[in-house]
Amino acid sequence: MGDPSPRRKIAILGGGVGAMTAAFELTSVPDWQSKYEITVYQMGWRLGGKGASGRNRARHDRIEEHGLHLWFGYYENAFNIIQRCYAELGRLPGEPLATWRDAFKPHSLFILMQFHEAKWTEWRLSPPTNTQTPGDGVVPPFWEIIDKLLSLLHVHYENEATPAVRALVNTPEHHDHPGFLAGLVAHVRDWLSDKAVEAAGLLTARKLVQDVAAAPNNPAAHAALADAVTGLEHFAGAVRKAVEASIGGLIDDLAGDFPFLARLVSLIELGLAMLRGIIADDVARKGFDQLDHLDLREWLASHGAGQLALDSDTLRAAYESIFAYSQGSYELPNLAAGTGLRGLLRLSLTYKGAFAWKMQAGMGDTIFAPFYQVLKQRGVKFEFFKAVRDIVPSSDGSRIEKLVIGHQATVINGEYNPLYNVNGLPCWPSTPDFSQLKEKDKLEAGKINLESHWTPWADVGQTTLVADVDFHEIVLGISLGGLPHVAPKLIDQKPDWQAMIKNVEAIQTQAFQIWTKPDAAHMRTPRHGTHDNPDAEPPVFGGFAQPHNTIADMSHLLPRESWPPSTGPRAVYYFCGPLSQPAVMPPRTEAEFPRIQSIKASARASEWLRSNAQFVLPGSMFAGYPESFPDTFNFSLLYDSEGPQVPAVDQFDRQFWRANSDPTELYVLSTKGSTKFRLRAAASGYSNLKLAGDWTYTGLNYGCVEAATMSGMEAARAICGSPTIIFGENFPLP
């Protein structure tokens, strides 16, 4: 018998970015409470999923993350939602993270590391800031973005080409190519006025791109652009030849000795290969997905990128930034070309305010606590410790009939209060508040992790929710890796679910954080800021030694933790990277697996510090190295959060590390050939099931906060028709 209530009941499964966005959009509809009754079922004690963080109450409320999280300046939808969320949160001026502007600060300093012949070199990148506000909903038109690409190449050439290279590129021999460069130079000489003639090819191509932008359907403009590309190839060839002449050898062989010249050539080649490919494959009209059967490097190579460009630190860092390694193995880089290209263009050419934005507390505190507070205030019901155990479809496969929900623990007062206050900021603890749970003693004594797939803990109860009675719609926000465990019947029943599970890959990642006694100025080289200039923006390093190839100085977070004022740590660093997959993940009964993973993660992290920290944190080395000490990393610089009176078993022991091995924590990849297998939020194949998460088909299709946000918006739209606009959903189309 149906429920007589006119309100439709919506069950949201999971509390990651996708699920919370869906809840936020559904409850942004005017008068939503007369239409819907919304309940979030979340396993364990906190929202956030892969973006969850926790405060370690036993260690001065330090922030513990799944890994380094940055928001990028092109996250139009994510910033838009979080701005609306903060506006409604209504914190008073002066309160911690009172506004979104307090919660996010622009970040522009990136250092790309390049290893060649036993030597690391650095490339500082500081993408210029702009006055735009992320989240204003404007995604620039495609050709405007391409114009910007050329403009950047031009600026890069202007900044990086040495006088010797310039002189050589500008010799008449390089203007003699049949047709193009000389013609272009002549054609634009007036137009260029005071600009460098040798870069005329780039500038002319920009002009032609602008013509296409003004008349995208004019074949003549496209033909002129194609000619421009041919000319630019001559230009790139001339740059390469000139560089090689100036260093007296082949640049491919000498990249390690002349990294800046290698970058000059490789970036120009990469940019041109992109441009050539975009025009040849008519990306403006046919879109990016058509390229996804190829790996990005394969596609670039097919459009003329040379080995130097394909092996460049820039491209490697792009892969690493989204863990684009099949099975988590560095031997298997794999990134669908269209998805990678779209991501790179959006990331580098459409950002607003700054290239990246750093959260000013843990991601849980900055994103998921405000989501929780606003949604709760709006009237959404949260059921913590409620783990989805089975999603049961009807036998004809038309809809979901039942949801089986496991009760992981009994909340004493009926409703769990998940947040606690750290220096005035509502935060998630890194373990449940056991005092609110009836099974407190057993959970604590058994050191039970209620987020773990491999927990020996059995549910203390179970509820079966029935369609039309307990729910009318479901938003499935559980991540891809978790689906074989919560939705095996859907995978059995529908070939497109099987195809998705088989073809869309998700891998483990790993991360660690260290708190140091000395400050950042002591730990880093003068190149990254000096004692005289301690306020220089702390860098984010990319492309560094595997597996922890991404490193960030996150010392700005220390004041958000509760360290003793004068004797606390003075700096904190985050390290993150992929983790290779065991051939077979052990069954749920292997309760020891997480512990073993954790031990291995700790060993890898401390070994990584020994071997590599010297290159990014030179101040962490023993004075006198290498003569007197076997180790390079001085572990005694690490801050011991329990104090020296409790001896650490290992000097790394009191830091934080984790292996993100749990099925639902796996990072979703965008490997070549996989895009077409992603299901869409509104097309699960079941009438009452919508999907939300970075694994669905969106306008981005890769694992990031923005894609998860877009998916949540799509799920909400499929239920209530709102939001009508999802920014960038159809890019490159408007």
Ligand X SMILES: Cc1cc2nc3c(=O)[nH]c(=O)nc-3n(C[C@H](O)[C@H](O)[C@H](O)COP(=O)(O)OP(=O)(O)OC[C@H]3O[C@@H](n4cnc5c(N)ncnc54)[C@H](O)[C@@H]3O)c2cc1C
Give residues in contact with ligand X (CB under 6 A).
13-19, 41-43, 47, 49-51, 66-70, 387-388, 477-479, 482, 486, 509, 511, 576, 660, 664, 667, 693-694, 703-705, 708
According to DSSP, residue 578 is labeled E
Supply the minimum distance, in Å, between the C-beta of residue 302 and ligand X.
29
Q: Which lies closer to ligand X via its Cβ, residue 206 or residue 690? A: 690
Start-end of H helices in 112-218: 142-160, 163-169, 180-192, 200-214
SS3 category, 133: coil
Shortest Å distance, C-beta 259 to ligand X: 26
For residue 678, the minimal CB distance to ligand X (Å) is: 12
Nearest approach in angstroms of CB 486 to ligand X is: 5
Are the CB atoms for 329 and 580 separated by under 8 Å?
yes
Work out how close the CB of 319 gets to ligand X at its nearest, in angstroms, rounded to a whole number: 14
Give the ranges where 386-517 is alpha helix by DSSP (H): 440-445, 483-486, 488-493, 495-503
Shortest separation between residue 478's beta carbon and ligand X, angstroms: 4
Minimum CB separation of residue 464 from ligand X in Å reads 14
Shortest Cβ 705–ligand X spacing (Å): 4
β-pair type (8-13, 36-42): parallel
Q: 560 vs 658, which CB is nearer to ligand X?
A: 658
Residue number, 555 or 632, with CB nearest to ligand X:
555
Distance CA 225, CA 232 (A): 10
At its nearest, how many Å lie between ligand X and the CB of residue 686? 18
| Residue 292 near residue 339, CB atoms below 8 Å | yes
Cβ neighbour number for residue 700 with a 10 Å cutoff: 26
CA distances from 297 to 206, 301, 316, 577 (A): 25, 6, 10, 20
Least distance between ligand X and beta carbon 45 (Å)? 10
Q: Is 422 helix (H, G, I), strand (E, B) or coil?
A: strand
Q: Which two tokens stand for residue 28?
A: 């942004």
Query: At closest approach, how far in Å is the CB of 146 from ligand X?
Result: 24
Q: In Å, what is the CA distance from 724 to each residue of 32, 260, 567, 715? A: 16, 46, 53, 12
Q: Assess contact for 656 and 362: CB atoms under 8 A.
A: no
- Interacting residues of 605 by C-beta distance below 8 A, sequence separation 6+: 510, 512, 548, 575, 652, 655, 657
Q: Which is nearer to ligand X, 325 or 635 (CB)?
A: 325
In the bound state with ligand X, the residue whose beta carbon lies nearer, of 68 and 236, is 68
| Count of CA atoms in the C-beta half-sphere (13 A) of 474 | 32
**Cα–Cα distance list, 320 to 103, 519, 541, 708 (Å):** 26, 28, 11, 19
d(CA 575, CA 276): 36
CA 719 to mean position of chain CA atoms = 27
CB of 47 to ligand X, least distance (A): 6
Question: Of the two residues 287 and 693, which places its CB atom closer to ligand X in the complex?
Answer: 693
Cα end-to-end span (Å), the chain? 46
Rounded to a whole number of angstroms, the minimum distance from the CB of residue 708 to ligand X is 4
Tell me how far apart the alpha carbons of residues 19 and 435 are, in angstroms, rounded to a whole number: 28
Place of tokens 């079922």: 41
Contacts of 384 (CB under 8 A, 6+ apart): 42, 44, 45, 46, 411, 416, 418
CB nearer ligand X, residue 448 or residue 486: 486
User: For ligand X, which is the closer residue by CB, 486 or 669?
Assistant: 486
Residue 41 phi/psi, 5° resolution? Answer: -105, 115
Q: Please, is 532 exposed, middle or buried when counting C-beta atoms within 10 Å of its C-beta (0-12, 13-18, 19+)?
A: exposed
Q: Which is nearer to ligand X, 258 or 382 (CB)?
A: 382
Q: What is the smallest separation between the CB atom of 275 and ligand X, expressed in angstroms? A: 27
Of the pair 263, 358, the CB lying nearest ligand X is at 358
Q: Which of 31, 35, 29, 37 is nearest to 12 (CA)?
A: 37
Between residues 195 and 588, which has the closer beta carbon with respect to ligand X? 588
Q: Which is nearer to ligand X, 184 or 480 (CB)?
A: 480
Nearer to ligand X, 14 or 54 (CB): 14
Tokens 């179970």 sit on residue = 462
Q: Are strands 110-116 and 381-384 parallel, antiparallel or unpaired?
A: unpaired
Report the residue number, 121 or 696, with the smaller CB distance to ligand X: 696
> Given 3-state DSSP classes, what are the helix, strand and coil percentages for the chain, each rounded to the nearest 5?
40, 20, 40
Shortest separation between residue 479's beta carbon and ligand X, angstroms: 3
Is the link from the previous residue into 488 a cis peptide, with omega within 30 of 0? no
